[in-house]
Structure 1
Amino acid sequence: MTSRTHAADGAQSLHRAIGLLRLLSARTATGWRLSDLAQEAALEHSTVHRMLGCLLHERLAVRVAGTRRYTLGPLAYELGVAAAPHFAIERLAGPALAQLAAETRDIVFLNVRSGAESVCVARFEGRKALKAYTVEVGTRRPLSLSAGGAAMLIALPRAEQSRIQALNLRAIVRRGEAQQTAVRRMLQRSRRLGYGCNQEDIIPGIAAIGVAIRSAAGEPLASLSLAAAGADLAPPRRSRLLERLNAEARKIGAQLELLRY
């Protein structure tokens, strides 16, 4: 076996391990059964078992107490703490977004793009609780599954949009055709309007709007979104809230040069 083959094998193993870490981060509360993790990763059971053993040894993964499920480990947290000073966008935006949530009485989210997914990095609760909306800080979802994710997706070049949308739809295939149809409907509406617009497409009774936060070069790096009861996001209130979100997004975008995005 040549050194080039060894290098290719090593790179493939690294990509697979990173893919497992992404999956583990998507279910930090309940964790994954080994069989489900292998199915989701499209890898052999034995391969995932071997890789999990390495991640456990390195403290990047742990077994959920009292179960046979796996989730992220303490080393993942330690690495995140070390990186936070350079990438913690929520530190720039926190005070203004907390005030926005208090004024609107809705829930305001700050999300960052992670490839074909979005990660919630901050959640600010207004005075109206939406019990059905369970997205918490750290939640990782396909871009196509939220108004904030859709806002980032539609800001990408069209070819990239198509590629990511296809990936996202494959990722949610087990949720059924109704969910996929709802996602397509939300994305079509969002493209037409120019911002993320979820009109109770994903969760009945809950609507959301989202806008992209762009780098100086125009790349969508993050998003702001606001979730409310469906009746509370009807025009013209939606238009007023959209103006507020866009204003905050522009401010945050102008500050991104302080970080390493």
Structure 2
Amino acid sequence: MTPSQGTQALSRAFKVLKIVAQNGGEATLNHLITKSGLNRTTTYRLAMGLAAEGMLRSVSGSFVLGPECYMLGIIANQYYGINGLAADAVSRLALKSGDSAFFSLRSDRYSVCLLREDGDHPLKTMSLQPGTRHPLGIGAGGIAILAVLPDKEIDEILYANTEIMRISYPNFTAGSIKIAVSDARAKGYSFNKGKLTPGSWGIGVDIKDPRGNVLGALSISAVLMRLQEERQKELSALLHKEKLLLEEKLRQAESPR
């Protein structure tokens, strides 16, 4: 195997692993084939190779995340333990709004939902779940993250995501995302008009780390009738309050003891 072939195999294996993670930690072989674009033989070989290393397990016709993923997660949490810091903010947003609240982390050109908590309103939205991964600019959190980046970086991200957007997000264009980014900058919060999941609207704000780099986003999702203009202002105020609290917790977490 040449170095380039080895790199390709590694890239494909991680692609399969990420698909399992993004599907709630479990995926059938057919799901892996569909999402990866690889043939059945290659997909099965990669999945079984990951299973041999403990990264996946084969259970009742599906593949689930393996014990080695859990161990790596524990170790990584020492450096990226944002969940514990963001959990209180998400809980308060869900409690005070009555709707579904989220924390999403930026991962290069994507955003990954880490936390979700539902409020007590009976109408729930079928939007993000922990582990869900979307290109930046998709959903309220992704728009909020893009909105605080320089225009040049936004263009680079949208260009790099052209193919996945064309295949998996046909309702979105670079132009429509830029309009949403412009609106977010003007209003001080992002707004998703149910384009990703019909009936699921969202509002969000960015979260920055102590060095001023965008780390992720807090967002709230609700049905349309609960996100009219006046209520958008109320939820924006809640989100900005939690943004300040969370960013202060991040600063304290990095301060010398």
Question: Which of 114, 120, 130 in structure 2 is aligned with 1:121?
Answer: 114
In the alignment, is the contact (CA less than 8 A) between 1:186 and 1:198 conserved in 2? no
- Distance in 1, Cα, partners of 2:107 & 2:123: 26
In the alignment, is the contact (CA less than 8 A) between 1:144 and 1:168 conserved in 2? no
- Per the alignment, residue 25 of structure 1 pairs with 21
In the alignment, is the contact (CA less than 8 A) between 1:155 and 1:219 conserved in 2? no
Q: CA deviation at 1:248?
A: 1.5
Question: Which of 238, 241, 247 in structure 1 is aligned with 2:241?
Answer: 247
Question: Which of 81, 84, 96 in structure 1 is aligned with 2:77?
Answer: 84
Of the structure 1 ranges 93-102 and 166-175, higher mean CA displacement relative to structure 2 is found in 166-175
Q: Is 1:110 the equivalent of 2:117?
A: no
Q: CA deviation at 1:169?
A: 4.5
Amino acid paired to 2:66: G
- Per the alignment, residue 54 of structure 1 pairs with 49
In the alignment, is the contact (CA less than 8 A) between 2:89 and 2:246 conserved in 1? no
Q: Check 1:140–1:192 CA distance in 2 against 1; reply closer, same or farther (3 A cut).
A: same
Q: CA deviation at 1:91?
A: 1.1
Q: Is 1:227 the equivalent of 2:218?
A: no
- Distance in 2, Cα, partners of 1:115 & 1:73: 24
Amino acid paired to 1:226: I
In the alignment, is the contact (CA less than 8 A) between 1:26 and 1:141 conserved in 2? no
Q: CA deviation at 1:19?
A: 2.7
Note the residue ranges of structure 1 that are not aligned, 5 or more in a row.
Answer: none
1:181-209 C-alpha deviation (Å, 9 max, x unpaired): 5x853552232332321022222222111
Question: Which of 215, 218, 233 in structure 1 is aligned with 2:209?
Answer: 215
Amino acid paired to 1:110: F
SS of alignment partner, residue 236 of structure 1: helix
In the alignment, is the contact (CA less than 8 A) between 1:169 and 1:180 conserved in 2? no
Q: CA deviation at 1:224?
A: 0.2
- Distance in 1, Cα, partners of 2:136 & 2:231: 25
SS of alignment partner, residue 123 of structure 1: strand
- Distance in 2, Cα, partners of 1:224 & 1:138: 15
- Per the alignment, residue 12 of structure 2 pairs with 16
In the alignment, is the contact (CA less than 8 A) between 1:31 and 1:64 conserved in 2? no
Q: Is 1:193 the equivalent of 2:184?
A: yes
Q: Is 1:165 the equivalent of 2:152?
A: no
1:36-83 C-alpha deviation (Å, 9 max, x unpaired): 535644555544443222201012122342x2x434222212211232
Per the normalisation by structure 2, the TM-score is 0.83
- Per the alignment, residue 137 of structure 1 pairs with 130
Q: Is 1:237 the equivalent of 2:237?
A: no
Question: Which of 240, 246, 250 in structure 2 is aligned with 1:256?
Answer: 250
In the alignment, is the contact (CA less than 8 A) between 1:87 and 1:259 conserved in 2? no
Of the structure 1 ranges 16-25 and 41-50, higher mean CA displacement relative to structure 2 is found in 41-50
SS of alignment partner, residue 101 of structure 2: strand
- Distance in 2, Cα, partners of 1:229 & 1:24: 29
- Per the alignment, residue 37 of structure 1 pairs with 32
Amino acid paired to 1:180: F
Question: Which of 197, 203, 225 in structure 2 is aligned with 1:203?
Answer: 197
Q: Check 1:156–1:16 CA distance in 2 against 1; reply closer, same or farther (3 A cut).
A: farther
Q: CA deviation at 1:148?
A: 0.5
Number of residue pairs aligned between Structure 1 and Structure 2: 251
User: Percent of aligned positions with the same letter in both sequences?
Assistant: 29
Q: Check 1:163–1:25 CA distance in 2 against 1; reply closer, same or farther (3 A cut).
A: farther
**Alpha-carbon RMSD:** 2.8
In the alignment, is the contact (CA less than 8 A) between 1:149 and 1:223 conserved in 2? yes
- Per the alignment, residue 88 of structure 2 pairs with 95
